[in-house]
Amino acid sequence: MPFITAANQSILVGGTAFAYRDLGPKSAVPLILLNHWGAALDDFDPRIVDGLARTRRVLAIDYRGVGGSGGTAPLTVAQMADDVISLIAALEFTSVDLLGFSLGGFVAQDIALKNPALVRRLILTGTGPAGGVGIAKVGAVSWPLMLKGLLTLRDPKFHLFFTTTANGRRAATDFLQRLKERRKDRDKRPTPSAFLRQLKAIKAWGKQLPQNLGGLQIPTLVVNGDSDIMVPTVNSIDLANRIPYAQLIIYEDAGHGAIFQNYADFVSKAQAFLDS
């Protein structure tokens, strides 16, 4: 079953319902997808989800207070990580792979540091470490481009996730069309309150003291574009340098959404990494 027709599911965790979609063969170690600021289930790229789900079980989730999940959106990355750890326990998984994009990459790092025995493989995309360069300024960078999106009647991700080159614009258009492919049972959009609470969590992460990534002994793949304006690319290089034996992929002429622009290559490299 492809991602655009996968059933919306829900599980109670500590009295709060968490929404998710579950697809792919029931592999021994599932892959949990953790998405970006202001994202619900329908903001996951169906080409990436379907590509990865060809060979493994993949679960896309909504954070607390976002989309189909109940409760109030947390104000810290640490609280989001605790929620995901509790969700994984409720699903009765004892070992998982994590793929975190942007905010999801912050959450994935915190999970891996809090519970390293739980995480088998870690993929960090379009993201950076606590206290990373420019992360606390993501709002200042994003608001003008969000306004530009409103004025040009374009989804803000067109401007935020992709370069302004012909290649970047084409990739942006294609990506945004893919996000519209699901016609029925679409997830609820995040509320303005949840959106702003997540922004506070991102700013707090950007101001947080660095974590001990040098003690992380989990195989890690770090991916970004060479022109990320939301979480500057230097942060991906920093992650790869600080996490022992991490692999680094930097796509040329690509921004924050490099994995969407290069989805076929990314899926191939992510599969190889997860299977290694």
Q: Count CB-CB contacts under 10 A for residue 124.
A: 31
In this predicted structure, which of 83-87, 143-147, 225-229 has the lowest mean pLDDT? Answer: 143-147
As a whole-number percent, the residues of the chain with pLDDT over 90 amount to 96
In this predicted structure, which of 44-53, 143-152, 192-201, 214-223 has the lowest mean pLDDT? Answer: 143-152
pLDDT score of 1 = 86
Per the prediction, the chain carries an average pLDDT of 97
pLDDT, tens digit, 9 for 90 and up, residues 137-170: 999 999 999 899 888 889 999 999 999 999 999 9
For 75, residues 6+ apart whose C-beta sits below 8 A from its C-beta are 197, 200, 201, 204
Cα 1 to Cα 272: distance, rounded to the nearest angstrom: 22
pLDDT, tens digit, 9 for 90 and up, residues 260-275: 999 999 999 999 999 9
pLDDT score of 128 = 98
Written as one string, the DSSP assignment of the chain is --GGGPPPEEEEETTEEEEEEEES---SS-EEEE--TT--GGGS-HHHHHHHHTTS-EEEEPPTTSTT--S---SSHHHHHHHHHHHHHHTT-SSEEEEEETHHHHHHHHHHHH-GGGEEEEEEES---TT-TTGGGHHHHHHHHHHHHHHTTS-THHHHSS-SSHHHHHHHHHHHHHTT---SSPPPPPPHHHHHHHHHHHHHHHHSPPP-GGG--S-EEEEEETT-TTTTTHHHHHHHHHSTT-EEEEETT--TTHHHHTHHHHHHHHHHHHH-
Q: Which domains does the chain have, with CATH numbers?
A: 3-275 (3.40.50.1820)
pLDDT score of 27 = 81
